[in-house]
Amino acid sequence: MAEADTIKCRGIRFPDDEDVLNPRIRRALKRRNYEKTEAEAVRPHVRPGDTVLELGGGIGFMSSIMSKGCGADHVHVYEPNPTLIPYMKEVHALNGIKNVTVNHAIVGPKKGTATFYQRENMLTSSLEENPKTIDSPIVATHEIEVHNINTVWTAIKPNVLVCDIEGAEADLFDKAKLTGLRLAVIEIHPQWIGEAGTRRVFDAMHRAGLTYFPKASQRKVVVFKKDW
């Protein structure tokens, strides 16, 4: 793919596909502002040898940063939006990234299926049909496989968790056995999960032996580390 047909951000090339990259995302990529807080949270802390479980892969930005920029050993991505799966794989191929496994599924408290609501504003798509403060119209619904978090954890054995799942984080970790976890970067959505849901996320990370790491946290992106 020609350089002119891509957008480069933080050393990663992205196909300039207008069907995926709306004007807001394109501007953010060009200005190095796309998922800036998340990128700055993982860059100093994800390191060679890490096995990462990323929930909510989006356009493949974070998985590419962790693979190519941080040198993670392997990144396992779960993404429910079927529109983004081929684009994400294209991003990885374009950047010579071969150590990312992309799963078109959701990780949840129990195995099953769930309805995913794809919205006109891709960034607000979620498992909630009518989340508060979101007025972007639904353009499609998809029945997506849900993989049990403990089953996934046993199979992958990650030591790093990166999570941005638009409010589903409140229910995910209550019964999760996060064995071996040393780092978690989670975008919480208090506008949807409230104080109680936010507390549940913090409690789950503390049960896993991690502590809130304020130096790397910023606003809704919270970092938990072990032995900092």
Q: Would you state the pLDDT for residue 109? A: 95
What is d(CA 102, CA 153) in angstroms, rounded to the nearest whole number?
Answer: 15
pLDDT at 16: 95
Tell me the β-bridge partners of 185: 162, 223
The pLDDT of residue 167: 86
Can you tell me whether residue 127 is helix, strand or coil? Answer: coil
pLDDT of residue 130: 85
User: Would you state the pLDDT for residue 74?
Assistant: 98
* Distance set, CA 215 to CA 117, 120, 218, 224, 228 (Å): 35, 35, 8, 10, 10
Predicted confidence pLDDT, tens digits, the chain (228 residues): 666 699 999 999 999 999 899 999 999 999 999 999 999 999 999 999 999 999 999 999 999 999 999 999 999 999 999 999 999 999 999 999 999 999 999 999 999 999 999 988 887 888 888 887 788 899 999 999 999 999 999 999 999 999 999 888 999 999 999 999 999 999 999 998 999 999 999 999 999 999 999 999 999 999 999 988
Q: Where are the domains of the chain?
A: 35-225
Q: State the architecture of 35-225 in CATH terms.
A: 3-Layer(aba) Sandwich (3.40)
Distance separating alpha carbons of residues 115 and 146, to the nearest angstrom: 10
Q: What's the pLDDT score for residue 1?
A: 64
The pLDDT value given to residue 126:
85
